[in-house]
Amino acid sequence: MPTEAAAWQAFRLPGVDFVEVVHDRAHRASSAVPGRLGFTEHLRRPAERLAPAETGEDQIWRLNRRQLEVSSSRPAPHPDATMASPRTEN
């Protein structure tokens, strides 16, 4: 899953204690991904409405390294591993 791979990559950076996903509360599909990966609802905050269907309230999901380890579908990558590209040559 690309989001999971991005979270693992984020935790490889020095000083990263958590990863956040932010989306407008009205966009329910956006909440499905962090929910599946073990993110927890962290907080809601006012935000500028950029489209008529938006609520003007951001939902912020937070994930720490331990949560990712527990919910991950695969083990943590080796620290020297690079993120492989999902594309293949035809």
Residues paired with residue 22 on neighbouring β-strands, in sequence order: 60
Range of the domain at 31: 2-71
Position 78 in a domain: no
Tokens of 32: 């499905």
From first to last of the 90 residues of the chain, give the pLDDT tens digit: 678 889 999 999 999 999 999 999 998 888 888 888 889 999 999 999 999 999 999 999 999 999 998 887 666 665 555 555 444 444
What CATH number does the domain containing 62 carry? 3.40.630.30
What is the domain count for the chain? 1
Which of 69, 75, 47 is CA-nearest to residue 59? Answer: 47
Position 84 in a domain: no
Task: Determine the distance from the C-alpha atom of residue 20 to the mean position of all C-alpha atoms in its chain, rounded to a whole number.
Answer: 6
CA dist., res. 62 & res. 40, Å (int): 5
Position 39 in a domain: yes
Position 77 in a domain: no
CA dist., res. 78 & res. 82, Å (int): 9
